Amino acid sequence: MLFFSQLIALLFCSVMLFAADEKGLGHIKGIITTNDGKPASGVSVQLKGLKKQAITEENGTFHFRNIKPGTYELEATYVGYEKQVQSITVTEDKTLEVSIQLSVSSMGLNEVNITSKKNNYTQTDVSNSLRLGEPILSTPQNIQIVTGKVMADQQITSLSDGVIRNVSGATRLEHWGDIYTRINMRGSRAANFRNGMNITSTWGPLTEDMGVVDHVEFVKGPAGFMMSNGEPSGIVNIVTKKPTGITKGEASFMLGSYDLYRAAVDLDGKLDQSGKVLYRLNMMGQTKNSFRDYEFNDRISIAPVITYKLDENTTLTTEYTYQHVKMSNVGSYYVFSTDGYATLPRNFTLAEPGIDPTNINDHSILVNLQHRFNPNWKLTAQAAYFNYAQEGSSMWPDSVGKTGVVRRVSIWDASNESKFGQVFVNGEEQTGFIHHRVLAGLDLGNKKYMADWGQSHALDLPTEGGIFSLVNPVYGRPANGLPVWDRSKSLRVRAGSNVLSQSYTGLYLQDELGFLDDMIRLTLAGRYTYVKESSYGSGTEDKRFTPRVGLSVSVDPGTSFYALYDQSFVPQTGLLRSGEKVKPVTGNNMEVGVKKDLFNSRWSSTVSVYRILKNNELSADPSDPTGTYYLQLGQTKTEGVEFDARGEIVNGLNLVVNYAYTDSRISKSGTNGKKGDKVTGYATHVANGWLTYRLRQGVLKGLGISGGFSFQGDRSTWSWAAANQKDLPDYFRLDGGLSWEKDRITINANMFNLLDKYLYSGAAYGTYYYWQAEPGRNLKFSLAYKF
């Protein structure tokens, strides 16, 4: 406690010291509108002569801080509009307010309208929940954003529904029935964040429906200042929709193959004339069956958000999200065979139609307070509560034979409860010739998951005539009848030792030192984290200080080079056959890269090279079919190269393309495996592309054509196979579609898996294989109307 008290006092004093106004410098606060008076977002604003650039926010505002007094030219540019240049004079210790109105260009581009930058394929800034307080181009980190426009063009409806095709190296090895989405990057699982909070659990969180999501941020690799008690592979941050202050709405309807019916509405506006109280309401309802019989997934989501502007500098936002899922038994997604992968028809299922559905209710409440002390300093405080309740069942075979299996259904009732609190400050100050960008904060979290897996029932009998046939399956008459569960006792009693919990406290401080008018930026940071967790009756606690050093250099307004080093650790719980205590994962992470933005940031690209060293990583013991025991590796080394590019190449032509090479191997032998052996859970080569072209003029104006592919080569499964078992084959999927936009109407149709290939992921499991197939050629059609 003494250490915490001293550290908090030091943090407070540091913030107060920096928060004092720097004397002698001025600030610029501006707003840009179109000629019809609407806010213009995504506009490039340059302060000529100082090499300073800003992009307007969704409400049309921009800021320049710590400017030397003098007269400058302010230039605003956006495609389709006349360039505006305005002479301004900055006065010391004053904030200059600027207003600029754009006029439509006379060069025949009057069909181009200012829209939110989040409706494009690129986004120059991360959300406030990532705490960085600077453009992506300036950060010493590989950060990729999948925007709302990209997801709309690709008709993505949930996190597991193709989001990862837009980011290099991201893969999804298992489906888990869309209950939750596990994404792997750089050789291990990426942590799941929502609005900057680490909501990762062993079996969660519930996969977010994209109807409530504004955009998705992928923070690749070292991220110790945000998640030093998480995997060093990176994080996936879901950013939910917030009020914009612009009155607008959208209603959409989607239908597709396998009885997909989906309707959604997005309402955005003001609750009072003054604009002090804003609202956002998203609602969605969906029913969906499958290419496999007896399989379905129906969902409802409701997400109201209220923002109250307490005064000019203070904003309070309250957000509630409710998601309900009714779905078939999760085991229906798995198929088993002793002969190899994909040896049964694609639509083969082990599902039994009489099994009760799984029901999930997911609630979350987020309260966010933001206060700006002055143009340089901003405080953010937020708290959240998540509550997930599941009542259902799963399925796995008792035995797998040449021609049949014995299916066993297990109850799967679960509860996932999490509480979070965060307070952080962002600030900028000038001390002599050094510009400081400061980040300091406190993280608190408490997560608890419990589940009842203690009741099970064999649907089939291991006798002649009682086994479920893989050759001539019969449904509706299981030899041993259907299960009946006893839920008379509380879940807590039934869960027994099947409880996982984690609580943590983190304090961090970061200073980015800017030299030569911020062309060179040196990041120095550290985080102290205390973590206590328990899993299935065994527990551990650990505390660790993790440093972070980064360097970013801008060679011109659109190009930067960066290098980053940080450390991470992951507390672990589990049982070793030796009885020894499980050690935490520790790691050293290094990365270098280059970023390039073109065409007023309408095109962005990143190339990065990284190395991640991890010590003491746990892996499932392949000789233990019960999953009780683990093996502790010595050291693993993951290395790779990643390339991402996205944006508008020419007017109307948008492209997303990425490639990743990943190599993850044991570098020091532990209790399993030898030096040089591959680590499970990644694909060596991952490549994706998506191109959309829309006609901007002529009789076919508004018509768009899209096409994309996804490729994974040299895939490994998430568990070790026996020496005589097969590897996963390469994966290739081709998609394409047509769309049409006119005024407020958008019509979109995409055909997925155009080649009708038998696609799947899976693993070798002792004496048999299992896999989860994807649908063959399938269609989605959507109609959206903006008002």
Q: How many residues make up the chain in this entry? A: 787
List the chain residues with pLDDT less than 70. Answer: 1-23, 51, 58, 79-80, 104-119, 175, 222-228, 619-628, 670-673, 719-723
pLDDT at 459: 96
Residue whose C-alpha is closest to residue 305's, from 268, 338, 252:
268
Which letter does DSSP use for residue 330 in this model? G
743: left (phi over 0), alpha (psi -120 to 50) or beta: left
Reported for 129-132, long-range contacts at CB under 8 A and 24+ positions apart, including other chains, are 129/193, 129/195, 129/196, 129/197, 129/237, 129/239, 129/382, 130/196, 130/217, 130/219, 130/226, 130/237, 131/196, 131/226, 131/380, 131/424, 131/426, 131/439, 131/441, 132/439
Name the strand (E) or helix (H) holding 385. Answer: strand 377-391
How many CB atoms are closer than 10 A to CB 273?
A: 7
pLDDT at 195: 95
pLDDT at 119: 44
- Can you list the positions of beta strands (E) in 333-376? 335-337, 358-374
Which token pair is 22? 């720097």
- The phi, psi pair for 468, rounded to 5°, reads -75, 120
Alpha carbon distance 58, 61 (integer Å): 7
Alpha carbon distance 450, 494 (integer Å): 9
Which token pair is 785? 């109307």
**248-786: what fold?**
Maltoporin; Chain A (2.40.170)
Q: Taking the model in full, what pTM does it have?
A: 0.86
**Residues 25-101, CATH architecture:** Sandwich (2.60)
Can you list the alpha helix ranges (DSSP code H) found in 81-155?
148-153
CA count, 13 A, side-chain hemisphere, 61: 8
pLDDT at 409: 96
pLDDT at 222: 66
**How is the chain split into domains, by residue range?**
25-101, 248-786
Q: How far is C-alpha 741 from the geometric centre of its chain's CA atoms?
A: 28
